[in-house]
Structure 1
Amino acid sequence: MRRILLAATVLATAALTVPLAAHDDEPAPARGVPVAVSVTPDQLLEPYYEALRQQVVMPVAGANPALSPSTTLTRIAFGSCNHQNAPQHMWAQIAAQNPQLFLMIGDNVYGDNGWDADAGLESLRASYALQASHPEFTGFRAKVPMMATWDDHDFGLNDAGGNFPFRRWAEDLFETFWASSDAVKARPGVYDSTITGPEGKRVQVILLDTRYFRSNLKRAPWSKERPPLGGYVPEYSLDATVLGEAQWAWLEQELAKPADVRIVVSSTQIITTAHQFEGWTNFPVERNRLFEALKGREASGLVLLSGDRHAGGVYTTQYKGETLWELTSSSLNLSFGSDNDRSTAREPDPARVGKFFSEENYGLVDIDWKAKKLTLTLKNNTSGNLAEQVYNW
């Protein structure tokens, strides 16, 4: 198995040039001269992965109740950045809030920790298996319907995008573990959407995939003094993408469907441009395209949710006369500290409302249908309120 795995890795990372027979009206290439062809690592590795599927146990998250399409949603919880090796205490806190739906929005496990560049992504598979062994998690999942998308650490590699050569196998692991819908399994990427509730109280949840198709990040020029807030700079190329054309077309179709409230989930932050870490700020043209798509949606209330940052906060911006609101929640159990004042001072941001909370947290979205009011709440690991934002749609 190890030899097969090594061979697959070499195939994926080798130059994709092979000798081919010429067309009838073209001279054949000289023997031994490589001819460039469009062969992707996904295609090269598919026979290996097909064999691997027959040999390994694919971890599963466990039983999960289906969300009835007729349910009138009034409370949705979400979170990100959950490490399989860390305590799983947050599940009890979230369950006590009685959410009707929970959204796992990225870095749901840290599968790239200990990865040795093998094409089989053994560390990712092991991380899922460990997460599935936690009774706190499986007990929560057995009671609360869940939907999921991924971020980099459960995609397979820190800050990775569409050039990650093993993304297809990472997708198989993700879709098997989270029991993805048939629609998700039928297409590349893990983006998904549902509409729940009766007419007049329909909630659409749109989970974007900001990894599978994303163009390469543009790194900041080297300097002796590294930037304190990340090492990337905006990529203004019109060819650069976050979602890929197929997902963009799908998103526009989803936004045209009738809904009363839409919850749009991105694993990375959307509104803020105050840092040089990962986020839509890396792709300004795409960020504007997203704002345009949201502006052109069929009339509805709107909530933006994001994670990734190991800190949380509330963000707002104006776009063509509409006020957009975003709640970032991160992380569930991998906090980088609890000094919220220090985190706030380190990252000044005119788009953020209030502090930047670096302690463990999760998010809630409450819907008051009678008042047409949305409440975004960020809670800590004892379910105390860190931040709250109320607005009408």
Structure 2
Amino acid sequence: MAVINAWVGATTPSSARVVAKIGGASARLAVADNPQLSGPAWYGPVSASAEGIVSLTATGLAPNRRYWWAVEDAGVLDTVTTGRFRTHPPLGEPATFDFITGGDAGITPEVPGVGAAVNTSRLSNHPVFDTIRLRDPLFFAHLGDLHYYDLGSNNHGFTGATLANYRRAYDDVLLQPRQHELYRNVSTFLLWDDHDFGPNDSDSTAPGRANAQRVYRERVPHYPLADDEAIFHSFEVGRVLFVGSDSRSDRTPNSYPDGADKTMLGSAQRAWLEQLLTRSEASALCWLMPVQWLSGAVDSWGGFRYEQGQLAQMLGDLGWLSKMWMVVADKHSLGIDTGANNLWGGFPNFLTASLDAGGGDSTGPYDLGITGGRNRYTRFVVDDQGDQIIVQGTGYIGTSPWRSHTFSILANTPPPTDGGGQPVPPQTPATIADRVSWLGCDLVTGQIIADLPDITGTVSRVLGAYTSSSLSMPVPVSGPAALGDIAWQATQPGTTMIVAVVNGVPEWGGIVMTRRGGTDGTVDLGCVTLEGYLDRRYVGDHDWVQRDEVSVIAAGLIADAQVDGIGLAVDAPATGVLRDRSYVATDDATVYSRLRELSGVEGGPEWTIDLDWTDSTRTRVAKILRVRPRIGAASSTPGALFSAGAPSWSSTGASDARYTLVEDYSDGRGANYVLATSSGEGDARPQSQPAADIRPGWARYDRRYSPGSSITDTAVLDEHAAAELALRVGGAATWQIDSRWDAYPRLGVDWRLGDDVAWELHGHRHPNGVTGIGRVIGWELDIRAGRVKPILWEPGGN
């Protein structure tokens, strides 16, 4: 027996579905990774329906792989009606792929159908189907009007909208050689519109509604359908969700007045869509819609504006409007709108027709243009780069590109992971403790080597910089405090870090750089905070154009330090701020210097390396490099930061706070005319435009500085100059507070680096008291004295 027709669809990373019409009673599916079909996997057998239809699903396939298939009919493998497909990339992972969309083939066709079809003038055998097949997309999305038989109209050679007529329609389409060849060799996703669902402008009252729905389920290799009747459904490729809408099954007649009672999708489809978009973890959405979204025509969304507005509202409420695009057909034209004319969501809209249908025109609300005619389709290339998904949609006329639009979607950033790929846990809540404890840890793994005896010295942290500390540790050779050889293992320079645990949380970590010990009963340790490691690693070649400043540029710089690195977890979610940066390895710039340069521009990101426990066992310390628009908790009112009441350092309270207000206009502070320069000499030296803010009554104070070597883009230098002016123009005013570390407000419990805090202080400088709100930009902890010294910057005080 021979296979009469067959096509493939519903592909996933591990499966595909073939629906075939056979002459025998049963069939099997052979699938192989080679065109000769040698060594195939077999699926089935499956018994044929009374009409000779079999549905065969291949499972257990590898992702991103090409496969070939053939159907065995009644024990004979058909080697003529064969095909191929590609499985999808792994679900939920960034991927690059392409797909093609089109619609409308058969009304007054340029290349009519062939063979023993009921009406070849309502079908097409146009070369455009060969063109699409030869482009070899991952899949082809057909957005309706597969044929123009208008079943139920009693025209075009058919009487009635019977099951037999709907089945014959599919047979006639698959009888067309070019269409059949395409649908066998490219996975096809099919929706219907009016002419293949029923008569022209058909709706839920169409006489063949139930038969159309039944035969679609019999004949089309579709994904699981979400409804017992209508054919709306979805699938995902990588991190992109595709939604296919049924715009006919539950549609209110076009003649009804627009309002809450008029619907194109129906209540069931809308409820399904809302639930799907609420729970989806996809990073982007492509909505495949058979009818026009922008048109004002009554048979398009122009006749259903009330429901269209409700859908746009839902998409906005669920956060999808900035992460989606729509593809439509119906009008026999190509068109691209960037979103400028989309008053119902603002997302890009692509009109993708016609394959071979007459009557198109070149008018419509598409800001990049519209062109009517046949031999038209749209190819999309999706490039998921992790932080953003870049989509390029190009309209084609035959093999020639017509117009193109490229846009980017900020992607959902995966949570940070530790060096072993495991998620970094949420920040451990602090618990009040009466002493600082010390650990010696492996620098790379964070594994605790030993609990160390009480260490004396001063440790400190500063946003976006490293600090150094000199510590002293007792090393008794006998008694209960003696550690023996493990003391030396836990403090080995270059391979270990000392960690200070404050109020139950690792708050400070220092790489042991030097160790001095001998006759005395102490060993002196020279440590540098973990940020200092980045000053020992160098930046490679990079060229980033309009890329996210954190998830791409900062994370890319950090990646240069990760090979054979210290096992940093990176918490660098996308911000949506795009910048240009070019770096060359021969500049010998360190990762540390480049991160500081990036954070030094106006509005640049902040960064630091935090510590935390990797899990509840508290046997290993995580090193988390955070890059954010801001580090720490911001608060406009003190009560928003501390839940226990008004947070403040009070010189009259238990914290025994002492303070110093430093107002400094020396050494470039107070500069009101700033010029940022880069490497070079004379006229060849790039420099910014002057950033100036000379206030009445003030003289001009110049400052020229180089934020980084080899910056050739003057726009970047302008950003540096503006940032430096904002930092310098008012001079430097910092509050240096010295308080007990074990009294409220406590480090790690009530405040951390980067947080906004408040104060209420009394002293000779402010005999009537002074209150304020500022930000912790650094701190110093003196273990012997039991004092903590936060360094506070007061906004507006500079």
TM-score (norm: length of structure 1): 0.71
Aligned with 2:254 (options 217, 225, 229): 217
Letter of the 2:358 counterpart: S
Q: Cα RMSD between the aligned structures? A: 2.9
Aligned with 1:161 (options 195, 199, 203): 203
Aligned with 1:177 (options 219, 222, 244): 219
Q: Verify: 1:355 aligned to 2:370, yes or no.
A: yes
Letter of the 1:380 counterpart: I
- TM superposition shift of 1:192: 0.9
Letter of the 1:111 counterpart: Y
| SS of the residue 2:350 aligns to | strand
| SS of the residue 1:387 aligns to | strand
Distance 1:243 1:304 in 2: 16
1:247 and 1:260, CA in 2 relative to 1: closer, same or farther beyond 3 A? same
| SS of the residue 2:182 aligns to | helix
- Aligned equivalent of 2:291: 268
1:216 and 1:117, CA in 2 relative to 1: closer, same or farther beyond 3 A? farther
- Aligned equivalent of 1:96: 134
Letter of the 1:236 counterpart: D
1:385 and 1:68, CA in 2 relative to 1: closer, same or farther beyond 3 A? closer
Q: Verify: 1:238 aligned to 2:260, yes or no.
A: yes
Q: Verify: 1:134 aligned to 2:176, yes or no.
A: yes
Distance 1:320 1:310 in 2: 22
Letter of the 2:356 counterpart: N
Aligned with 2:189 (options 147, 153, 168): 147
Q: Contact 1:152–1:159 (CA<8 Å) still a contact in 2?
A: yes
- Aligned equivalent of 2:100: 77
- TM superposition shift of 1:246: 0.6
Q: Contact 2:167–2:215 (CA<8 Å) still a contact in 1?
A: yes
Letter of the 1:253 counterpart: Q
| SS of the residue 2:346 aligns to | strand
Q: Verify: 1:308 aligned to 2:330, yes or no.
A: yes
Distance 1:142 1:363 in 2: 20
The structure richer in strand per residue is 2
1:258 and 1:324, CA in 2 relative to 1: closer, same or farther beyond 3 A? same
| SS of the residue 2:167 aligns to | helix
Q: Verify: 1:392 aligned to 2:408, yes or no.
A: yes
- TM superposition shift of 1:301: 2.4
Query: What is the CA deviation profile of residues 292-325 of structure 1, one whole-angstrom value per residue up to 9, with x for unaligned ones?
Result: 2222335562110000111121123467896311
1:124 and 1:373, CA in 2 relative to 1: closer, same or farther beyond 3 A? same
Gaps of 5+ in 2: 1-47, 56-80, 107-112, 114-122, 410-798
- TM superposition shift of 1:65: 4.1
Distance 1:303 1:319 in 2: 11
Q: Verify: 1:286 aligned to 2:307, yes or no.
A: yes
- TM superposition shift of 1:291: 1.4
- Aligned equivalent of 2:270: 248
Letter of the 2:131 counterpart: Q
Letter of the 1:266 counterpart: M
Query: What is the CA deviation profile of residues 149-175 of structure 1, one whole-angstrom value per residue up to 9, with x for unaligned ones?
Result: 110111021101011132010111222
Distance 1:86 1:154 in 2: 13
Distance 2:179 2:249 in 1: 26
Aligned with 1:105 (options 118, 143, 147): 143
1:358 and 1:321, CA in 2 relative to 1: closer, same or farther beyond 3 A? closer
Q: Contact 1:270–1:281 (CA<8 Å) still a contact in 2?
A: yes
- Aligned equivalent of 1:377: 394
Identity %: 21
Q: Contact 2:379–2:395 (CA<8 Å) still a contact in 1?
A: yes
- TM superposition shift of 1:105: 0.9
- TM superposition shift of 1:96: 2.6
- TM superposition shift of 1:67: 3.9
Distance 1:86 1:387 in 2: 25
| SS of the residue 1:258 aligns to | coil
- Aligned equivalent of 2:571: none
Distance 2:82 2:291 in 1: 27
Mean CA deviation greater in 208-217 or 248-257:
248-257
Query: What is the CA deviation profile of residues 73-124 of structure 1, one whole-angstrom value per residue up to 9, with x for unaligned ones?
Result: 5211111012353223112211232211111111112232526452415443
- TM superposition shift of 1:57: 5.7
| SS of the residue 1:372 aligns to | strand
Query: What is the CA deviation profile of residues 250-274 of structure 1, one whole-angstrom value per residue up to 9, with x for unaligned ones?
Result: 111222201122110110011233x
| SS of the residue 2:170 aligns to | helix
1:64 and 1:294, CA in 2 relative to 1: closer, same or farther beyond 3 A? farther
1:260 and 1:181, CA in 2 relative to 1: closer, same or farther beyond 3 A? same
Distance 1:261 1:127 in 2: 35
1:332 and 1:195, CA in 2 relative to 1: closer, same or farther beyond 3 A? same
Gaps of 5+ in 1: 1-52, 220-234, 338-342
Aligned with 1:331 (options 337, 349, 354): 354
Distance 1:356 1:278 in 2: 20
Distance 2:51 2:173 in 1: 17
Q: Contact 2:292–2:329 (CA<8 Å) still a contact in 1?
A: yes
Distance 1:295 1:272 in 2: 21
| SS of the residue 2:222 aligns to | coil
Q: Verify: 1:295 aligned to 2:316, yes or no.
A: yes
1:62 and 1:125, CA in 2 relative to 1: closer, same or farther beyond 3 A? farther
1:236 and 1:277, CA in 2 relative to 1: closer, same or farther beyond 3 A? closer
Letter of the 2:180 counterpart: T
- TM superposition shift of 1:63: 6.5
TM-score (norm: length of structure 2): 0.36
- Aligned equivalent of 1:190: 231
- Aligned equivalent of 2:672: none
Distance 2:287 2:358 in 1: 24
Letter of the 2:402 counterpart: L
Distance 1:301 1:329 in 2: 20
Letter of the 1:93 counterpart: T
- TM superposition shift of 1:238: 1.3
Using CA pairs below 8 Å that are at least 6 residues apart, which structure has the higher relative contact order? 1
| SS of the residue 1:216 aligns to | coil
Look at both structures and tell me which one has the larger radius of gyration over its CA atoms. Answer: 2
Q: Contact 1:110–1:154 (CA<8 Å) still a contact in 2?
A: yes
| SS of the residue 1:218 aligns to | coil
1:182 and 1:62, CA in 2 relative to 1: closer, same or farther beyond 3 A? farther
| SS of the residue 2:402 aligns to | strand
- TM superposition shift of 1:183: 3.1
Q: Verify: 1:366 aligned to 2:381, yes or no.
A: yes
Letter of the 1:153 counterpart: H
| SS of the residue 2:172 aligns to | helix
The structure richer in helix per residue is 1
